[in-house]
Amino acid sequence: VQKDINKLSNHSIVCGYGRNGKQAVATLKSHKKDVVVIENKNKLIQEIELNEDVFIVKGDATDDSVLLKAGIKKAGNLITTLPSDASNLYVVLSARQLNQSCTLISRASDESSYHKLKIAGADNVIMPNKLGGAHMATLVVTPDIIEFIDRISVDGASSSSIEELVIEKLPKEYANKSILDLDLRNKTGCTVIGFKKPDNEYVVNPDPNTKLLPNSKLIIIGNPEQIQKLNELF
């Protein structure tokens, strides 16, 4: 197993196989990503072996040697979902030192941990408890909008799906062209709903004349058939 992990590159590491960890693994697998799970509880390791087709590293994710076994130096991203904010903070600090370019996503329970994790090097910090309460409240304030958003999927399982299109992966003839030049609506039926600039700023409903610059991305929505056509063309 370790030999196979050593061959991986740009893979995903998930620290902890609790409720959030399981959801992360399921989503990553639906996108056909190589996944390495770090877990130290024998019961959960047995569950992973029975139910998941992923690589497993047994150990404490706060230990640098365990992160190295999981291939942190060549990983594309790491998700830490440990129950302790202090443990997640330690994982983020260690992972950032071992891999400067890896995308780090951490779970947090307390508001005070959010900024600490960001300072430590986390690219994104998710607070599941806060999101849950906010989501329930918005069902009261704007129920139809939230129900519509809930029906949108990122794994193609629902009637509406969202896809990310990396500009560098487009055919060379589209370099420095515009969204209008792509003509996605006519070619695939998909609609561009967002644009991520090279400086990581997001633009909602971008102007059709927006230039397709290097290190930028398009956020696209469509039904499964339209998304499949998009993937076939680009």
* pLDDT at residue 3, as a whole number: 94
Q: What residues in the chain have per-residue pLDDT under 70?
A: 153-159
- 3-class SS of residue 192: strand
* pLDDT at residue 71, as a whole number: 97
* pLDDT at residue 144, as a whole number: 85
State if pTM tops 0.85: no
* pLDDT at residue 69, as a whole number: 97
Q: CA–CA separation, 200 vs 196, rounded Å?
A: 6
* pLDDT at residue 172, as a whole number: 87
Q: CA–CA separation, 51 vs 101, rounded Å?
A: 31
Token pair of 43, please?
């019961």
The H or E element that residue 66 is part of is helix 64-69
* pLDDT at residue 158, as a whole number: 56
Regarding beta strands 217-222 and 202-204, do their DSSP bridges make them parallel or antiparallel, or are they unpaired? unpaired
Residue whose C-alpha is closest to residue 91's, from 124, 64, 114:
64
* pLDDT at residue 155, as a whole number: 56
- 3-class SS of residue 184: helix
